[in-house]
Amino acid sequence: MEDDTLNDGGKTRSATIVDVAKRANVAIGTVSRYLNGFPIRRANREQIEEAIQALRFKRNAAAVAMKTDVTHVVGLLANSFDDFHGAMLEHLSRALRRDGRALLIYCHGGDTRLMDDGIDYFSTQRIDALVMSGVERLFDRVDQLVEEGVPVVLYDNDLAGLKADRVFVNNREASYHAVRHLLDIGHRRIGTLMGRLSDSAANERHLGYCDALSERGIEIDPAYSAPGHWSMVGGTDATRQLMQLPEPPTAIFSANYPMTLGALRYFKDAKIRMPDDVSVVSFDDLPLFGLHEPGITVVAQPIHTIAQTIADVIERRLRGSADTPFSTTSLRCEVILRASTKPAQDTGLDRRPGSSA
């Protein structure tokens, strides 16, 4: 493919991209991405250009013609295809398709082995960009992709320090407004079902819960914050933990919808009436929540807008230069009031399971 020569044990040979990568001290994939028009870091680009000049490296025109600058394929590394991610997939696929791009999907289901497999998979594909929710243990793997010139867009959870664009919702502010609604109608003992606080989304939603209580001068009692681990089973266990406190909450804020479903399961089994015995607000909306009796008050994420914004960010990133500043977009959520909340009637909650009333 290359027509300039190097001395190799007395024999002359053409310089290859391996030689360029070795001289530039970068990965072979980084050289490949540079040669095929993908954006890469300025420092890497300068080192590659110096190596190409020093080695008098040239590619065969026919080989160049076999490649295109972009593949028009975007990778999506997803935890699951639950209601939220399923809707995200639908809207993001449609938004990218309007820009002439297709979506390549890998679902890891929270399995650490599959997370690594997913990164390996995308490393072998000539994707234009990668969209993912941040997972801390993947930082080094994803950072290597960025080093090789693959733009990354983070949604849902952050990866602090990663050179990437970000599209999030205003988790802290939205949670603050949800809990403030409960305070406005008289609740003072408000419990929360938490996600994993190592996740930025869970941490921000818990901070919003704390902000609302602190604003009203209510002490943050750790006993009213129960870990639900983002799951339905975890939500059931966390709700049981809250409702069996000596003074159980009169209202619960759940940080995502699977934990809310777990709470509803516990209420059904324990014959706890909502909102008469306990009011509930959920982060995330489901069609089911509008049909449930009573309807569930929710913080609704703008999924269509999230997807469209991600597509717009990818378009700007791929059409811009490698020096284009990284962006962080924060989108507003809407609190939708339904019948799962009512003014507090603190009667000691003598309808708790095991009570004599």
Query: What tens digit of pLDDT does each residue of 72-112 get?
Result: 999 999 988 889 989 999 999 999 999 899 999 999 988 98
Give the residue-averaged pLDDT of 38-47: 81
11 Cβ neighbours under 8 A, 6+ residues apart: none
The pLDDT score that the predictor gives to residue 62 is 38
The enclosing domain of 265 has a CATH number of 3.40.50.2300
Residue 236 lies in a domain: yes
Task: Based on the fold, state whether residues 201 and 87 are members of the same structural domain.
Answer: no
DSSP string, 15-73: --HHHHHHHHTS-HHHHHHHHTT----HHHHHHHHHHHHHHT----HHHHHT--S---E
Task: Based on the fold, state whether residues 289 and 196 are members of the same structural domain.
Answer: yes
Distance CA 33, CA 7 (A): 26
Distance CA 154, CA 165 (A): 6
Task: Based on the fold, state whether residues 261 and 317 are members of the same structural domain.
Answer: no
Residue 353 lies in a domain: no
Residue 9 lies in a domain: yes
Q: Looking at the predicted structure, is the pLDDT value of residue 349 above 70?
A: no
Structural domain boundaries, residue 9: 5-65
Q: How do residues 129-165 score in pLDDT, each as one tens digit?
A: 999 999 999 999 999 899 888 999 999 999 999 999 9
What per-residue string of b and e applies to 200-216 under the rule 16 or more CB within 10 Å gives b? bbbbbbbbbbbbbbeee
Residue 124 lies in a domain: yes
What per-residue string of b and e applies to 246-269 under the rule 16 or more CB within 10 Å gives b? eebbbbbbbbbbbbbbbbbebbee
271 burial type by CB count under 10 A (0-12 exposed, 13-18 middle, 19+ buried):
exposed
Residue 98 lies in a domain: yes
Q: Looking at the predicted structure, is the pLDDT value of residue 220 above 50?
A: yes
In this structure, what are the phi and psi dihedrals at residue 169, rounded to the nearest 5 degrees?
-100, 165
Q: How do residues 279-319 score in pLDDT, each as one tens digit?
A: 999 999 999 999 999 999 999 999 999 999 999 999 999 98
Q: Is residue 227 reached through a cis peptide bond, with omega within 30 degrees of 0 on the bond before it?
A: no
Question: Which domain-ending residue is among 65, 84, 111?
Answer: 65
Using pLDDT thresholds of 50, 70 and 90, give the confidence band for residue 26: confident
Q: Phi-psi region for residue 201, left (φ > 0), alpha (ψ -120 to 50) or beta?
A: alpha
**Which tokens go with 147?**
């080093």
Task: Based on the fold, state whether residues 40 and 81 are members of the same structural domain.
Answer: no
HEC readout, 289-335: HHHCCCCCEEEECCHHHHHHHHHHHHHHHHHCCCCCCCCEEEECCEE
Contact 169, 302 (CB under 8 A): yes
Q: Looking at the predicted structure, is the pLDDT value of residue 54 above 70?
A: yes
Contact 149, 33 (CB under 8 A): yes
The overall average pLDDT reported for the chain is: 88
Instruction: Find which of 17-31, 77-91, 113-127, 165-179 is predicted with most confidence, using mean pLDDT.
Output: 165-179
Q: Looking at the predicted structure, is the pLDDT value of residue 354 above 80?
A: no
Report the number of distinct structural domains present in the chain.
3
Residue 337 lies in a domain: no
The pLDDT score that the predictor gives to residue 352 is 40
Which residue, among 187, 204, 184, has the nearest Cα to 195 in the 3D structure? Answer: 204
Task: Based on the fold, state whether residues 197 and 146 are members of the same structural domain.
Answer: no
- Between residues 17 and 22, which one has the greater pLDDT? 22
Residue 341 lies in a domain: no
Task: Based on the fold, state whether residues 126 and 229 are members of the same structural domain.
Answer: no
Question: Which domain-ending residue is among 46, 65, 84?
Answer: 65
Residue 350 lies in a domain: no
Using pLDDT thresholds of 50, 70 and 90, give the confidence band for residue 356: very low
Give the residue-averaged pLDDT of 15-41: 79
